[in-house]
């Protein structure tokens, strides 16, 4: 066999590196795609406007097993105009679904807090639906030091 | 199972007040992603639904996924116009339903 020139070796190496990057990116993309599908199902294909949402999450979560999450939607919460549902998805988890909150006019305030698990550094996307059929969205990036999905 | 949920709700409020409600249900919330020491997947077992009613009317509910941390904690609000009873229900994957109640006096 002919010995590989230095240039050929470099090209091969670069190709291999590019392939492995693609493979990894592919997995992350699949999760993000599933998250996008869940959002599309929630909105029924409508575009969600940015804003009206406050998402409280730590910038850096040292322990992905329990990350405090708080969502506040700026809405009047009267009998004929209130936030009815809020969807939370995590783009980088094995299952992107996190929770769906259902509010009513009796909630008085569209705010809920819980604690979530994050497998890795990722975007958390929140979509709110009002009783009038409007959609609002927001997202926040959380850096995760130790992932919280076992394994 | 059969562990008691923890509730934090004011005992009294004024008519039209927003009251903050905090609940915590002791539960493993097994995600279904973990493996035991033989490499077999541990089956999922989580609380998949939480609901809060006041005098029989829905106030707040949530569908939960495995991405909710163990011992699911929920904090939310309710606007109270009359005295009454909050009823909370937690539904397990295995069909077990745990309930708890708390009364509030509205003056």
Contact of A73 with A131, CB cutoff 8 Å: no
**Going by DSSP bridges, is the β-strand pair A83-90/A60-63 parallel, antiparallel, or unpaired?**
unpaired
Could you give the ipTM of this predicted complex? Answer: 0.94
Tell me the domains of chain B and their CATH numbers.
6-106 (2.60.40.10)
> Residue-wise over B49-60: b if at least 16 C-beta within 10 A, else e?
bbbbbbeeeebb
Spell out where chain B has E strands.
6-8, 12-13, 17-24, 47-54, 57-64, 73-80, 84-92, 97-106
Tell me which chain A residue has its CA closest to the CA of residue B65: A98
Question: What tens digit of pLDDT does each residue of A35-90 get?
Answer: 999 999 999 999 999 989 999 999 999 999 999 999 999 999 999 999 999 999 99
Is residue B59 pLDDT above 80, yes or no?
yes
8 Å CB contact of B62 and A93: no
8 Å CB contact of A113 and B74: yes
Chain A residues within 8 A of B68 when measuring between CB atoms: 98-99, 114-117
Contact of B44 with B68, CB cutoff 8 Å: no
The pTM for the full model equals 0.87
Per the structure block, which two tokens stand in for A5?
Answer: 């020139």
Nearest by CB: B59 against A107, A113, A116:
A107
Pick the CATH number of A6-146 from 2.40.180.10, 1.20.1280.290, 2.60.120.1140, 2.60.40.2470: 2.60.40.2470
**What is the domain partition of chain A in residue ranges?**
6-146
8 Å CB contact of A108 and B77: yes
Local structure of residue A93 (DSSP, 8 states): S
Q: Please count the residue pairs, one from chain A and one from chain B, whose beta carbons lie less than 8 angstroms apart.
A: 103
């Amino acid at each position: 066999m002919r010995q590989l020139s230095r240039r050929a070796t470099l090209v091969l190496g670069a190709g291999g590196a590019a392939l492995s990057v693609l493979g990894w990116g592919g997995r992350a993309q699949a999760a993000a795609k599933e998250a996008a599908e869940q959002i599309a199902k929630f909105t029924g294909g409508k575009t969600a406007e940015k804003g009206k949402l406050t998402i409280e999450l730590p910038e850096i979560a040292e322990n992905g097993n329990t990350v405090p999450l708080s969502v506040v939607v700026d809405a009047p919460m009267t009998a004929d105009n209130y936030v009815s549902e809020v969807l939370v998805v995590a783009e980088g988890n094995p299952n992107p679904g996190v929770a769906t909150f259902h509010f009513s006019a009796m909630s008085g305030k569209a705010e809920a807090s819980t604690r979530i698990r994050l497998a890795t550094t990722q975007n958390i996307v929140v979509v709110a639906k009002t009783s009038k059929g409007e959609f609002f969205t927001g997202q926040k990036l959380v850096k995760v030091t130790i992932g919280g999905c076992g394994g | 199972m059969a562990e008691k949920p923890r509730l934090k709700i004011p005992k009294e409020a004024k008519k039209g007040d927003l009251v903050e409600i905090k609940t915590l249900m002791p539960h493993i919330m097994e995600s279904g992603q973990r493996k035991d020491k033989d490499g077999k997947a541990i089956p999922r077992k989580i609380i998949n639904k939480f609901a809060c009613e006041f005098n029989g009317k829905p106030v707040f509910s949530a569908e939960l996924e495995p991405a909710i941390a163990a011992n699911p904690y929920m904090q939310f609000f309710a606007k109270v116009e009359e005295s009454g009873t909050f009823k909370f229900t937690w539904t397990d994957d295995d069909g077990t339903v745990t309930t708890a109640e708390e009364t509030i006096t509205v003056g």
